[in-house]
Structure 1
């Protein structure tokens, strides 16, 4: 396993001369990097740990760094090159390899911006190797260095805060940056086809897990890592919420420990809770049978019981897309785009906002909208939602009614998915008629609860001030 996650990573920090004892620290969900032969890569692990100790990155950011650096780790292992033996030519070969690599469909595996991101992290890491190993003229700006890089100061504009200045590293092998691509949601037709495919999976464990995963992506708008970090306890807490349940999400692109709460239909929680019953059997069969504790993460491998990685989540979506014949891209972030666009549509319709300029004025004048949008999306800057605002208004064209869809729309969609699933399973005889009726009655109960909550919100919203 090249990059693994250690639930509780303990390490020596320093020796306290007054108490005459060593002081240790604990990091939760710390990434740990190994070579292809499973030998730990000490240099990379030390680099990640020092970044954390310096307070310059969250654990979630370190995970992203680890997945960037693993490419260089594998390159050096394959070519039997220790890091300090890298040169301009070998680093160029490494970057060219990143650009040339193709997936199983023969398509280029990563774009220029992704290659630049990986190369930049690797240059940062190699600078730390130079410091830790006290190397002379290994990496730096100037002809005397084995790896020649250039430094450029860039200014980052932050909403409501002073501009931030960062140092960008470049190397002659790095490709030119691509124009920033707009984010577009997955099409409804693609999503329906994928949902139908998941519901028809013969393996019950995979079917229930993938259904729960799909619905978490669709109804929470969470990032891959945020989904990976969801726990069984989060679901249990949400189920206990009165009337209008909300699910806790760890926001990974904000300060450590930042949480947000997303409204979620009761029927979806019931579906996920059904998967939890099956998950318990998987954990008993895989981990507990070997004397290991349940780690508590919601989504697990049916064969090992270990938490699903971000990479595995992406691979699952690729498999689903391939199975139903989706030609274009189908990745986890498209669910997030769909979610954010849908929520913006709901706010626009509920508040009779006529165009994009009206929407921006509303955001400027009403703090509650900013808070609501940030809470739902996990964005720290409202400016990040610019593309979604245009998509939302494009979607509204043709609507003849203004309605409150904050819960109602999702509740209807959840009910439709349940009915489609039951119809599919009855057709292929994977469920008994009695069992289907019980599930249908439960779903109707949850739907009625969500409908009542929606109607209450609509009545409250139209009360005179």
Structure 2
């Protein structure tokens, strides 16, 4: 089955201040920039939908702050708005008033979501079973709000018009300081919500797959796109950043890092509180590659389509409009390279992060000469080591690192080389790839002999600097 009319019903309001309260005769407002705005499919505002979105924007998210609205998708609030819009569209197409929804109608809505297929590939479902369940729970919460707003008794209740029930569970976890904490999670229950699918944990991307992606990128005819994809893969491999974090990377962050004697690249940390950031140690060689792209490719495009006086400052931009790329587009870039490389193995942007974290733990485990995962996990509770891990990976909850730790110990079974600094081995691997790329450019005639010599001289000089920095970062024996 295919639901009608797939037009996006969500738009983001870039700048918005809402009334909060009066205090001592003064009007106090609350910032709600980037708040999603829901419309019906005919373009008219969905009032009850937008009242609900304003209400949940006050709910506490990570760290007790309001739910995230950042990035081009609107953050957590944007995700909730898109899920609720599925019900808005369904009611519009079926000519059903939201207040007239009963248990059968709600079950029919979830069944339609579950069976919806792609237009291009009719045998492929649009969403996973787990995503369908998430939409069901979020729309139940929305309908509960509808019932309260309109004063409909037992609109959503165990024996109500819609037979849904909110249950609470206790979850224990270790915070970023290694302290054991408890949080309470609410979950909506309904007969249409299945047990779901087992959560799939992606493996780190295979180095041979990365090589194939890079080879495929060499055949990209558009020079701007080719260099942008090179920068994307370099950043994914060498920083472990999430694609949303790279979408927010700014030219000023790169320039600031390049001016440092010991370069550290600033990244927003998306899985934290709004405003959270971290700095990642990077090589001067990587920064040189990024600066070249800024000077030769990015800035001319921004100048042509936007004007340098109106430059938004983001590093990754569209070659046809100069606008900042969204995180989803960065993910699509890897998907396109996978198709071009005819790779059958899994490959996505986040798998680069898995590889980065796993490789980092391999190096850290070997540096500290651990033999058992539990020994290494014990070290994670120490302040110095936690700071080191958090600096590189941006993880807030050390429990989420277990997968990487076990993968690292599996890899160490056949791991023989000893290098004291994680930065050193990453630096060596980066420059090896850069020299191979230069040689390929010379062989294909993209570089003259003089250009090759000039670039190689610069590369060797940068490598020498970076190795000195890596030695300083390494631990004393």
- Confirm or deny a common fold (TM above 0.5): yes
Q: Which runs of 5+ in 2 are unaligned?
A: 1-6, 61-65, 70-74
3-state DSSP of counterpart to 2:417: coil
C-alpha displacement at 1:212, in angstroms?
A: 1.6
In 2, Cα distance between equivalents of 1:40 and 1:269: 46
3-state DSSP of counterpart to 1:12: strand
Map 1:222-233 → 2, pairs under 5 A: 222-233=241-252
Equivalent residue, structure 2, for 1:152 = 167
C-alpha displacement at 1:318, in angstroms?
A: 1.9
Equivalent residue, structure 2, for 1:53 = 58
Kept in 1, the 8 Å contact 2:140–2:156? The answer is: no
1:95-114 superposed Cα distances (whole Å, 9 cap, x missing partner): 33433345556444433222
Equivalent residue, structure 1, for 2:275 = 257
2:346 to 329, 352, 362: 329
Given the two structures, how large is their TM-score scaled by the length of structure 1? 0.86
In 2, Cα distance between equivalents of 1:274 and 1:167: 49
Equivalent residue, structure 2, for 1:165 = 184
In 2, Cα distance between equivalents of 1:411 and 1:227: 20
Matched, 1:338 2:355: yes
3-state DSSP of counterpart to 2:275: coil
C-alpha displacement at 1:351, in angstroms?
A: 1.4
C-alpha displacement at 1:223, in angstroms?
A: 1.9
Matched, 1:184 2:183: no
C-alpha displacement at 1:339, in angstroms?
A: 0.9
C-alpha displacement at 1:281, in angstroms?
A: 2.0
3-state DSSP of counterpart to 1:271: helix
2:215 to 196, 207, 213: 196
Matched, 1:270 2:288: yes
1:389 to 383, 386, 405: 405
Equivalent residue, structure 2, for 1:412 = 428
C-alpha displacement at 1:283, in angstroms?
A: 1.9
In 2, Cα distance between equivalents of 1:162 and 1:421: 49
In 2, Cα distance between equivalents of 1:40 and 1:266: 50
C-alpha displacement at 1:257, in angstroms?
A: 1.6
In 2, Cα distance between equivalents of 1:415 and 1:116: 46
How has the CA–CA distance of structure 1 residues 363 and 206 changed in structure 2, closer, same or farther, with 3 Å as cutoff? same
Kept in 1, the 8 Å contact 2:16–2:35? The answer is: no
3-state DSSP of counterpart to 1:276: helix
Provide the alpha-carbon RMSD of the alignment: 2.9
Equivalent residue, structure 2, for 1:95 = 110
In 2, Cα distance between equivalents of 1:45 and 1:241: 46
Equivalent residue, structure 1, for 2:317 = 300
In 2, Cα distance between equivalents of 1:383 and 1:15: 40
3-state DSSP of counterpart to 1:162: strand
In 2, Cα distance between equivalents of 1:384 and 1:205: 37
In 2, Cα distance between equivalents of 1:166 and 1:251: 23
1:399-458 superposed Cα distances (whole Å, 9 cap, x missing partner): 333212421221122223323333444444444444444333322222221112223344
Give the total of aligned pairs: 453
3-state DSSP of counterpart to 2:57: helix
C-alpha displacement at 1:303, in angstroms?
A: 2.2
Kept in 1, the 8 Å contact 2:421–2:471? The answer is: no
Equivalent residue, structure 2, for 1:443 = 459
C-alpha displacement at 1:348, in angstroms?
A: 0.9
Given the two structures, how large is their TM-score scaled by the length of structure 2? 0.84
How has the CA–CA distance of structure 1 residues 373 and 5 changed in structure 2, closer, same or farther, with 3 Å as cutoff? farther
In 1, Cα distance between equivalents of 2:442 and 2:349: 29
Matched, 1:13 2:14: no
